């Protein structure tokens, strides 16, 4: 008899526990289709990363809650297309949400959105996020400078060709770059706007194209005695004050 009563109590306990258990939520996924663009014509370096974030920004003085996030490495010109998948159970339609984007190079912001785009206040087939360039502190170092012209003549490259560039390390010693066919690396010394680049070493590839540009670029580097900044541009200048090369930075 006692065993029977114990069994009844055990079964009733199971039903009680099951009745009190919360039914698990069914995950329901939905997608947001997003295009990310910027309006100027600057070329991004191959290590540029585009990121789109869906976040809850309702709570003031508290870090926003990220609902979904997706990144891709830049391989072509904009628009950059994303499909952002999120769980509808994580959305409270009384809250305020923001769909934002940014582009970074080596972890530093170079473009970002500055407007709140709430995808749940206005339903669209596709959302377009327009990025604005982040103001950068003027500095020679830690920025890839892309070659634009040599001896005041614009350089002409094949569409798919990697662009020549130069980059100075912040330690005041190291310099590296790409001259059109080969990678280069070496040292430099700088005193204010006076600069001496070298000695330099480089790889020894032979290329079908851009060898003339490489030769002129290397010659300009060797003759440079001064540098100057103007907006997003940087210039190499020789001892006679002649502009040898013009660069731009993304």
Instruction: Compute the distance between CA of residue 58 and CA of residue 38 in angstroms, rounded to an integer.
Output: 27
In terms of DSSP H, where are the helices of the chain?
A: 2-20, 211-223
Per-residue pLDDT of the chain (250 residues; tens, 9 = 90+): 544 454 345 444 544 555 555 555 676 899 999 999 999 878 788 789 999 999 999 887 678 899 999 999 998 889 999 999 999 999 998 999 999 999 998 888 889 998 889 999 888 999 999 999 887 666 888 888 999 999 999 988 765 578 899 999 887 789 999 999 999 999 999 988 999 999 999 999 988 888 899 999 999 999 999 999 987 899 999 999 999 999 998 6
CA–CA distance, 86 with 119 (Å, rounded to integer): 12
Distance CA 18, CA 14 (A): 6
Backbone angles phi, psi at 155, to 5 degrees: -80, 150
């Amino acid at each position: 008899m006692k065993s029977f009563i114990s069994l009844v109590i055990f079964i009733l306990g199971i039903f009680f526990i099951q009745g009190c258990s919360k039914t698990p939520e069914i995950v329901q996924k939905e997608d947001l289709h997003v295009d990310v663009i910027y309006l100027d014509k600057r070329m991004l370096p191959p290590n540029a990363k585009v990121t789109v974030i869906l976040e809850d920004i309702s709570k003031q003085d508290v870090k926003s809650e990220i609902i979904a996030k997706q990144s891709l490495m830049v391989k072509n010109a904009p628009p950059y297309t994303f499909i952002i998948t999120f769980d509808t159970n994580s959305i409270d339609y009384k809250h305020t949400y923001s769909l934002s984007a940014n582009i970074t190079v080596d972890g530093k912001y170079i473009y970002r959105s500055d407007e709140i785009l709430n995808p749940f206040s206005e339903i669209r087939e596709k959302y377009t996020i327009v990025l604005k360039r982040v103001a950068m502190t003027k500095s020679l170092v830690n920025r890839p400078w892309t070659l634009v012209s040599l001896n005041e003549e614009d350089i002409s490259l094949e569409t798919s060709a990697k662009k020549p560039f130069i980059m100075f390390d912040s330690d005041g010693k190291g310099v590296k770059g790409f001259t059109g066919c080969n990678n280069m690396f070496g040292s430099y010394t700088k005193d204010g706007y006076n600069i001496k680049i070298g000695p330099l070493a480089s790889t020894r590839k032979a290329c079908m194209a851009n060898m003339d540009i490489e030769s002129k670029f290397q010659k300009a580097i060797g003759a440079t005695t001064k540098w100057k900044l103007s907006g997003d541009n940087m210039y190499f200048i020789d001892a006679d004050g002649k502009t040898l090369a013009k660069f731009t930075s993304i």
